[in-house]
Copies of this chain bind each other. A is one copy, B any other.
Amino acid sequence: MGSVTAVNFEQQNAPGIVARLSLFKGASEETIASIAAAGQFVNLSKGEALFMQEDPAEWFYVMLSGWVKLFRETMDGAEAVIDMATRGELVGETAIFEDGLHSYCAAAAEKVEVLRLPSSLLKKAVNDEQPVALALLASMSRHRKRQSREIESLTLQNASQRIGCFLLRHCNQLEIDAVDLKLPYDKSLIAARLGMKSETFSRALNKLREETNIEVKGSVVQIPSIGVISTYSCSACSNEFPCSDLQTNK
């Protein structure tokens, strides 16, 4: 962590934030107070790391704003983006089950604010308080479903369909009319998140443009019809549209 700015909780409304986390609904007041008292707010600039793979997991993180990239690096030096996390999501919380080591790297994809909380207190709360264990189970189950969907998408959708799917998952899926979608992060990161080289991404985006009449203007995608993209992308997916697994804006 080194140079990042950490601010103790007293200066901000930490107990309130901790109490509102679905992870700690049903936890004892004592647990919430001790976790809030030990936590800190951290601001990161683009590129700064929250932690590296194999680092001892002293903290876990609650995303407050911005996007964090979760990734792993191969011996070849290539990078696999395994997830992107944003407001309301937890990062690094499962290390308490993995010998206390992080199994991936996490770095800020832009200016990011997180709340860091001690892993040791999470571990204690999970062990001592049934409601916390159950909340963590529910969260991991949702995550598992999302990962299965992702494996399916990598297996069955072509590159253009995957981009269409990404756009749909970032739209308000109840819109019927045209939508202007601001891309959540830059195109090179979207390509990496979708497991594509940048040339593949450009070609696939062009094809999607031809198939669905979308217009890309800088970081805004003008979508004339959500239905047309859905017809194109969702035919190669086992979920119905709107996506039932969407709990957050991803």
Q: Taking beta carbons and an 8 Å cutoff, which residues of A are in contact with B? A: 53, 72-76, 78, 80-82, 94, 97-98, 103-104, 126-127, 130, 133-134, 136-138, 140-145, 147-148, 150-152, 154-156, 195, 234-238
A234: chain B residues at CB < 8 Å are: 75
- Within the complex, the shortest CB–CB distance from A74 to chain B, in Å, comes to 5
Which residue of chain B is the closest to A81 with respect to CB atoms?
A: B155
Q: How far is the CA of A234 from the CA of B141 in the complex (A)?
A: 29
For the A-B complex with A74-B235, A144-B144 known, give 7 more contacts whose Cβ atoms are closer than 8 Å.
A80-B156, A82-B148, A94-B141, A127-B134, A133-B137, A137-B140, A140-B140
A148: chain B residues at CB < 8 Å are: 72, 82, 103-104, 147
A97: chain B residues at CB < 8 Å are: 137-138, 141-142
Q: How far is the CA of A97 from the CA of B130 in the complex (A)?
A: 15
- Within the complex, the shortest CB–CB distance from A55 to chain B, in Å, comes to 14
Q: A74-B237, A75-B235 are in contact. Are A144 and B143 (CB under 8 A)?
A: yes
A80: chain B residues at CB < 8 Å are: 151-152, 155-156, 238
* Interface contact B74-A236, CB-CB below 8 Å: yes
